[in-house]
Amino acid sequence: MNTLAASPSPTHYHFDTASDGGATLRERSPSRSKYGKSKHEVGDDHAAEEDDQKEPERPAALDVALDENIDAAPFKFKPYQLASLVDPKSLPTLIDMGGVTGLLRGLGTHRKRGLSGRSVSETGSTTSLAYRSGDGGGTGAGRGASQRHDPSGEGPGIHAVPDIKVIGDDGRVEEAELGDDDHPAVEAQKGDDRAAFAATMADRHRVYGENVLPSRKTKSLLQLMWLAMKDKVLVILSIAAVVSLALGLFQDFGTPLPAGQPPVDWVEGVAIIVAIIIVVMVGSLNDFQKERQFQTLNEKKEERGVKVIRDGVEQIIDIRQVVVGDVALLEPGEIVPCDGVFLDGHNVKCDESGATGESDAIRKISYEDCIHQPKGSEHAHTDCFMVSGAKVLEGYGSYVVIAVGTKSFNGRIMMALRGDAENTPLQLKLNDLAELIAKLGSAAGLILFTALMIRFFVQLGTNNPARTANQKGIAFTQILIISVTLIVVAVPEGLPLAVTLALAFATKRMTKEKLLVRVLGSCETMANASVVCTDKTGTLTQNEMTVVAGSIGIHCKFVHDLSANKTRTNVGEEAGVSSEGARKHAEDFSIDQTELNTVLSDQLKHLINSSITINSTAFEDKDPETGELVFVGSKTETALLKFAKQNGWDDWKTTREGADIVQMVPFSSDRKAMGVVVRLPNHAGYRLYLKGASEILTRKCSRHVVVQKDGRYGHEIETRHIDDLVNDNIQRTIIFYANQTLRTIALCYKDMEVWPPRGCDVSMEDEVPYDILAQDMTLIGITGIEDPLRPGVREAVANCHKAGVTVKMCTGDNVLTARSIALQCGIYTPGGIIMEGPVFRQLSPQERLEVVPRLQVLARSSPEDKKTLVEQLRSLGEIVGVTGDGTNDGPALKTADVGFSMGISGTEVAKEASDIILMDDNFASIVKAIIWGRAVNDAVRKFLQFQISTNITAVIITFVSAVASASETSVLSAVQLLWINIIMDTFAALALATDPASYKSLERKPDRKTAPLFTVDMYKQILGQSMYQTVIMLIFHFLGARILGFGHQTDSPVQSQDDKIVQTLVFNIFVFAQIFNSINSRRLDNKLNIFEGILNNYYFMGITLLEIAVQILIVFIGGAAFQVTRIGGREWGIALALGFVSIPLGALLRYIPNGPVYRFFIKIRLMRDPEVLPVERPNTEWNSAIELVRDNLATFANVRGARMRASSYVDRSRKAHPEQGPVASSLMTMVPSLVASSIGAGWAPQSPSGLSDPAHFDPSKSSAALWEHKVQIHPDTKHDDPVYQKYGKYGKTEQMA
């Protein structure tokens, strides 16, 4: 006899271990019928496939030796010993501890009353809230108000719940009583565990720790500023600033100045320091802000209550107050907060995929049931251990907490994932560029210093001009100053500012696009991502089971969004019937779901709605995070309830409460169905509503409802007999939906005049056998349920392919479902491979190198498989982005170049390990990340294209003018250089870094890790613009007076004024050349429209106008400070005209073909020659698969001989192949016929329409191969493809022959 689990609380009346075995419940109280539904699921077990299950992945093994230094008194067990129970799950270890009874005694707790009142009261805590049924308080484990409390409102003192009948295996019915066990004090007297029962909260915290993770030591603002200062460019700038400031102060205040010249030489050093401060402050404040946003996001997740029983009373306590020994309660939707051992409950099923990677629901049973259950596949997903981070899918129960905080499964993974981020590819390239510029600038400064010193020594030797000792010292100092000035001019002060501003601007915009960037560098890394490994559930799909297709009656085939999913209907898709011939099922018609009410009668709508809402245990509740009403319960039942709600049918609650339930038929894995018998109003008889696996229930139906296309009906529901033709239609529909991996659920009903039905013994009133009920039923319809794609996913995947980004799906789900989703969203394409995790693990390193580039779907994959895939891709030179939402995804997220976690469904572990958080859990947001990443990269390159051309010009004219000047003075004064630096650095960085992202950036392929920072187009612009600016500057510097018609004047003041006009003109030309070149630098490619999108960038337009305005003010009122004078219209016209030439010159440079220029750059060593084999191995993308082919080719050894094969040079060269064009996708891509269809080349054909043609997509072929753990090749792959020959079914046959 099965009995109801005892409990002092009425909320435990659901705990029934008998119903899962097939027994049924009958309720006599009409009031109880509204709430006493069985919490069983229909359809989920039906969907579970019988195949080899993967071992759940675990974090690093526990070191039980850590317990040696821990004094566990007064408890019997040490903390790491307890934690080892669930990692891995070990029933023998629990048995050695004395089972649950020994565990509870050792922890000083009671399975029904929890911790004793004395130990709880000694904590002095007043934050707990005692919760009793009916008081309306509490929200319940952070998931909204509990749905499992007795609506009668009676208190916890009740020991029996009336009117509940439990039917045991012998068919007898007895009242179930909820008795109480002995008080803990009595139980403690049975052993030597009195001290444990008397232990205080302080004792539990001392031995087992608190349920909190030590807050990650976040860096203060000062620490972030110090880290920013360590940037190589900023270090070089800091040195230059100190030297420049020291020499400027000496020149201004240590030496006499000419009359009328203000002391402004110190300004250059101060300006550089200001630039450094701006960069450091902007960057560190941005990091500081993002870190605080992330902490706030996690704190919101952690602010939740947990239901526990303490001293026999249910309480809601803060999650941080849970201690080892607490008896915690479980209810649907809860995230398990701590590790524990399950005590008792009713049909508890947990989704542990987020913690262990196990995709199937794990049923929880008590320890006693666990040790007595037989072994076998039927019980493979059953245990008595609760893993922190798992989600309760359904059922109610209780468990004792055995590990909290850093010792829990979830906590240890969180702690292991804490680490520092690596440098991004762009950061590495910019660091190299900074070093190169510093070396070149220093070399130029040294050359200038040497040249001027030679002249200085010559002047000393000849004493011409004659100088005093003081003047000689000043001349030497002037030489030193001009040399340092040259170095300062060469260093791009604005480069770090441009990067920082671009990232800050992008991350702010990305936050509005539902992308929270935790690691700023991940933005620009994502720009050149070449592979994205994505989850399926919740990322590509909505993570909500939904009715997407179905048939009402036999002929009415409805589809959700029919226009976009025409392959979901099988109307007219009859194998062997030509389109011109007569249709076998001529009455079939398709309809969009939104038009369903137009063809259904009111009676039929009421029938369907009742069969869904009454025969269900799911309910509607508010989501605590969004506040929206959502259905809670099994995924199948919530899908059907949503279907009814979408169609605008009667409210589920009103319909369910209005039903007079006579008998309930809970779900059983044997019959794969659940049902309910209700008494019809007005003494019209009784009706059975049944739903379940369609292939089983349709065989038990003898009639079906009729749906007229014109919507004309009589007063009654019309039904017809199911003949052979109708049966053929039914079976064809089921196969058609199954072929699309839809979960098919049949809805049936049966009317009975009396109860019990005729032919039944009167004694069966309480339990009419299922086999008697489930016969001669009427089929209402068949629904096809799946987790549908998120809106925009198809377009997002297509955009990824267009951008040269390969998308690979890694999922723990079964192969058929994974393949269906991959086909729908366009991931699975010709030439692609589908593989299961167990097969992937068994591949040799060489086979893995061959398969990984072509692998598109990895199903039944464990977290370790995902991590291995990422590592393999990175070893092949790919830049990999990975999505993950579970605790088990942490290692892969940390391994990837960019990790994306889910903001809604993601665990704290996943978010901690990720770089970017998708706040809407949508794959389409990854495309936005790519776009914004490319916007950041483009902004940096635009700035470099502008800055380097300006730097080259400034260095050359400073060098030449200083050498040519007898007084070692530059063409531009220190203050003029300061203003030019402001234009080059701050303003240009702000203007060019704020160009908005554009979808047009997806039209180009990603850059490889080893791709040069400067492209051929950039080099053309840099060299062309700098040469032009240098020539005109030097011409007007040396010949300006002659060009303007100024003769040599004997009058010294007139001559001085003419010289000032020339100097002002040169300054003006240079400034306007930079302003117009900044407009020219908005384009990085060979296209001519440099004004594209300029109206969308208000920063750029505003800054450009500001620069022009300030330049005019400087010329008119700058005077002595800037060493300028007012000039006339002729000089303004010359300056504007010569500056404007930068734009047509840019267009002319874009017309120069890249090929000859590229070859020229290779010859002068400006760019790397891909044809040369280096003898040392750089970090390149050479595909190791092809390298292994070379090693395996016997031709090399036979033709060249063993001496060449043994050559160390050949060996070194082979291991250092550089990139040659696009990276080869795999071993098989060597065949020419595959090049055109290479997925790596970005070709993304549309998904085939074969899903609508069962004859073409024969599930007996593809499914059989998949379930035999073989590799599956896309059906449209060419037969001469080596992939097909090696892994295809026919290829294997030929090889064996």
- Residues designated as active site: 535
1123 phi-psi bin (left φ>0, alpha ψ -120 to 50, beta other): left
Please state, in angstroms and as integers, the Cα–Cα distance from residue 269 to each residue in 384, 443, 957, 1280, following that order: 70, 21, 20, 68
Confirm if 308 and 315 have CB atoms less than 8 A apart. Answer: yes
For residue 1286, what are the CA distances in angstroms to 114, 838, 1087, 1229? 61, 19, 45, 13
Nearest to 322 by CA among 334, 338, 345, 336: 338
Sign of CA dihedral 843, 844, 847, 848: positive
Name residue 687's beta-bridge partners.
678, 751
Rounded-to-integer distance, Cα 671 and Cα 800, Å? 45
Residue pair 1172/1181 in contact by the 8 Å Cβ criterion: no
User: DSSP state, 466?
Assistant: -
User: Distance between CA 92 and CA 994 in Å, rounded?
Assistant: 62
- Whether the ω angle into residue 1006 lies within 30 degrees of 0, i.e. cis, is no
Coil/strand/helix, residue 1174: coil
Which of 732, 650, 762, 747 is closest to 692 using CA atoms?
A: 747
User: What's the angle, vertex CA 798, arms to CA 794 and CA 801, rounded to 5?
Assistant: 145
User: CA-CA distance, 235 to 246, in Å (whole number)?
Assistant: 17
Cβ atoms < 10 Å from Cβ of 1038: 16
819, 802, 888: which is closest to 856 by C-alpha? 819
Cis peptide leading into residue 256 (ω within 30°): no
Q: Is the dihedral of CA 840, 843, 849, 855 positive or negative?
A: negative
Cα angle value 259/269/451 (rounded, 5°):
75
Structure tokens at 811: 């999922």
Instruction: Report which residue type is found at 1251.
Output: L
Q: Distance between CA 816 and CA 708 in Å, rounded?
A: 35
Structure token digits, residue 414: 């969180």
Helix (H, G, I), strand (E, B) or coil at 118: helix
Sign of CA dihedral 845, 850, 851, 854: positive
Q: In whole angstroms, what is the distance from residue 1038 CA to residue 1087 CA?
A: 36
What tokens does 569 get? 């209907």
Joined together, the tokens standing for residue 217 give 């030591």
Tokens at residue 238, please?
């800091």
Give 145's DSSP letter: S
Residue 308's nearest CA partner among 94, 89, 119 is 119
d(CA 667, CA 677): 14
Which own/partner pairs from 1173-1177 qualify as long-range (CB within 8 Å, at least 24 positions apart)?
A: 1173/1213, 1173/1216, 1173/1217, 1173/1218, 1174/1213, 1174/1216, 1174/1218, 1175/1209, 1175/1212, 1175/1213, 1175/1216, 1176/1212, 1176/1216, 1177/1212, 1177/1215, 1177/1216
Contact predicate 555/967, CB 8 Å? no
* DSSP category for residue 5: P
Closest of 40, 5, 37, 46 to residue 22, by C-alpha: 40
Q: Specify the residue for token string 């508890």.
A: 348
Query: CB within 8 A of 15, min separation 6: which ones?
Result: 4, 5, 7, 344, 345, 346, 396, 397
Q: Coil, strand or helix: which one is 423?
A: coil
Cα 297 to Cα 918: distance, rounded to the nearest angstrom: 12
